[in-house]
Amino acid sequence: MAAKTTKKSIATKAHLLNTALGLFQEHGFEKTTMRMIADACGLSLGAAYYHVKTKEELVLLFYAQTGAEAREHNGDIVASSKDFKIRLKALLQFKFQQMEPFRDLATVLARQATDWRNPLSPFSPDTKPMRDEAIGLIQEVLEGSNVKVSAALRPHLPKALWLYQMGVILFWMNDRSPERRRTEELIDLSLALIYRLTQATTLPFMRGVNQSAARIVELVEGLGESKGATS
Amino acid sequence: MAAKTTKKSIATKAHLLNTALGLFQEHGFEKTTMRMIADACGLSLGAAYYHVKTKEELVLLFYAQTGAEAREHNGDIVASSKDFKIRLKALLQFKFQQMEPFRDLATVLARQATDWRNPLSPFSPDTKPMRDEAIGLIQEVLEGSNVKVSAALRPHLPKALWLYQMGVILFWMNDRSPERRRTEELIDLSLALIYRLTQATTLPFMRGVNQSAARIVELVEGLGESKGATS
DNA sequence: GCTATAGTTTGAATGCGTTCAAAAAAAGAA
DNA sequence: TTCTTTTTTTGAACGCATTCAAACTATAGC
């Protein structure tokens, strides 16, 4: 019924993805039809669908790929500086550089993202591994950097910054300014703000605020769960 | 070619919207087909499309309708209390109460929202009137309330809170907890946080932070514009 | 009333994502 | 090899959003 994890099928799926990416880049996501992709791959339409459940799944596969590439680049980032702002900016810029040729795929991804029940949403339970991987990268970037943050918030900071990252990506994909200057300005301003805020969390009278902020991150994180129960 | 603003066509369009809403409520957005809507309206498929450009436009019409209703309710809110948190919570809760029977329409709206070039996005230039209306309501709610905020940020606060509102809606529509308890908790926590932060902006040493925050709101606001030029 | 014009309706395409039963190929067991 | 089981491939549907040329109806100016 569904595609298995045999050598051949893995190869075919990869081939499908590469072909699709080429066509997406050339014609955009909407104008590229599944028939085109199948043809260009030397497969029949039905066969393509044997390997890939939907057209959108190809986009998720692409996103997963960029995640893997980012892991390799992360060491360089950590090595380059101890400064939180510099490191995180580098992380974001690397992501954008990866996605630049496929900007409209980002919008497809964002579409899926809005419904957390959708298995293809970056927020869904199904994509938790990918999400954890991305959060891990941020974690590494934080570790040994110059950020100071209250103990109550420290464990939540990577998740919070991952959400922040999603927001910046949303901005970026809608940014039509030349060279995406606005995105860069947004990053510089917001990182400076975040940096100051994290420093501020260490102040003693911020305890209450910190508690609330931590709980908010928990709430957002727990949204994916089916019923209730948030501890 | 396109529908005109004659009495008859306005009536037909309204009829179409009402019929559609009934069907959406009964079967959900996806399972309701344009053919069903046209039939239930006593129109042919083509005629329906004469009045409405896409199926999604019906959702935007619905959203616009809730905006108009909210305007009427706003007076009550302002009269009920001078407390910022109470007022804004009431505003949000009214919105949710309106949308409750049509939760999946909210997800459709969110889908459109991600691409700001899409005329149906609440962020697009095309929907600016609706957006301004909604921001106006927030403005009213702020006016004469107990919030204090730095002069630099005051003009941007309504816009910022509108963005916040969009975020809360996104949370709400993904909230599967009984009675949407988590959404309520999120609102309480985040409003308290926002309240404190706004108070903090009046502190003298926050000038720099305020400037940055104001600029960030401007950047987000200006995203809709086609090319560049942000002042 | 008559005609020109603008507004509305029709029903039959078109295109595309997705599904499915059946055939073909590959892999294992004997 | 031969038989069995699993994995892939095929090509023909299906359903649904959307389009369009042609027909029909209302309206306004005379």
Instruction: Name the pLDDT band for A227 (thresholds 50, 70, 90).
Output: low
Q: Which nucleotides of C are covered by protein (CB under 7 A)?
A: 6-13, 15-21, 26-27
Question: Which residues 23-82 in chain B show a CB within 8 A of chain A?
Answer: none
Among B60, B127, B123, B137, which Cα is nearest to B91's?
B137
pLDDT score for B2:
75
Residue B7's pLDDT is what? Answer: 79
Q: Using N-to-C axis directions, what is the helix angle for B157-174 and B128-142, rounded to 10°?
A: 110
- Report the C-alpha dihedral over residues A188, A128, A175, A185, rounded to 10 degrees: 0
Contact at 8 Å (CB) between B108 and B56? yes
Nearest nucleotide to B58, CA against C1' atoms = D17
pLDDT of residue A224: 79
Residues from chain A that touch B219, judged by Cβ atoms under 8 A, are 171, 182, 185-186, 189
Above 50 in pLDDT, residue A131? yes
What pLDDT does B230 receive?
Answer: 46
Amino acid in the structure at residue A69: E
pLDDT of residue A171: 98
pLDDT tens-digit readout, B101-119: 999 999 999 999 999 999 9
Q: What is the pLDDT of residue B37?
A: 98
Interface contact B174-A110, CB threshold 8 A: no
Residue A145 has pLDDT above 90, yes or no: yes
pLDDT band at B8 (very low <50, low <70, confident <90, very high): confident
- Which range (A23-27, A227-231, B40-44) has the least confidence? A227-231
Cα of first residue to Cα of last residue in chain B, in angstroms, is: 39
pLDDT > 70: percent of chain A? 97
- pLDDT on residue B231: 46
Comparing A167-176, A203-212, B221-230, which segment has the lowest mean pLDDT? B221-230
pLDDT in the model for residue B79: 97
Point out the residue among B116, B182, B185 whose CB comes nearest to the CB of A174: B116
Instruction: Give the pLDDT band of residue A142 (cuts 50, 70, 90).
Output: very high
Q: Which residues of A touch B225 (CB under 8 A)?
A: 176
Q: What is the tens place of the pLDDT at every residue in B11-22? A: 999 999 999 999
pLDDT at A4 over 80: no
Using pLDDT thresholds of 50, 70 and 90, give the confidence band for residue A226.
Answer: low
Closest CA–CA distance from residue B138 to any residue of chain A (Å): 23
Grade residue B157 by pLDDT with cuts at 50, 70 and 90. very high
Q: What is the mean pLDDT of residues A76-102?
A: 97
**What would the pLDDT profile of B51-87 be if each residue is shown by its tens digit?**
999 999 999 999 999 999 999 999 999 999 999 999 9
**DSSP string computed for chain B:** ------HHHHHHHHHHHHHHHHHHHHH-TTT--HHHHHHHTT--HHHHHHH-SSHHHHHHHHHHHHHHHHHHHHHHHHHH-S-HHHHHHHHHHHHHHHHGGGHHHHHHHHHHHT-TTSTTSTTSGGGHHHHHHHHHHHHHHHTTSS----TTTGGGHHHHHHHHHHHHHHHHHH--SGGGHHHHHHHHHHHHHHHHHHHHHTSGGGHHHHHHHHHHHHHHHHTTSSS----
pLDDT at B226: 64
**pLDDT score for A230:** 46
Percent of chain B with pLDDT over 70: 97
**Does position B175 have pLDDT exceeding 60, yes or no?**
yes
Mean pLDDT value of segment A209-213 = 96
User: Region B183-190: what's the mean pLDDT?
Assistant: 98
Whether the CB of A10 is less than 7 Å away from nucleic strand C comes out as: no
Residue ranges near strand D (C-beta within 7 Å) = A 1, 3-4, 6, 8-9, 12, 43-47, 49-51; B 8, 31-35, 45-46, 49, 53-56
| Average pLDDT over every residue of A113-136 | 96
Average pLDDT for residues B85-99, to the nearest whole number? 98
What's residue B227's pLDDT? 59
Question: What is the pLDDT of chain A when averaged over all its residues?
Answer: 95
The pLDDT value recorded for residue B225 is 78
**How many Å does it take to go from CA B52 to C1' C12?**
20
pLDDT for A2 equals 75
Average pLDDT of every residue of chain B: 95
Pairwise CB contact (< 8 Å): A186 & B230? no
Enumerate the nucleotides of strand D whose atoms come under 7 Å of any protein CB. 6-13, 15-21, 27
Query: How many percent of chain B have pLDDT more than 90?
Result: 93
Max CA-CA distance within chain B? 65
> Which of the four pLDDT bands, split at 50, 70 and 90, describes residue A3?
confident
Higher pLDDT residue, B131 or A2? B131
Per-residue pLDDT reduced to its tens digit, A152-188: 999 999 999 999 999 999 999 999 999 999 999 999 9
In this predicted structure, the answer to whether residue A1 has a pLDDT above a threshold of 70 is no
Higher pLDDT, B15 or B225: B15
Give residue numbers, 37 to 66 of B, with CB < 7 Å from strand C: 43-47, 49-51
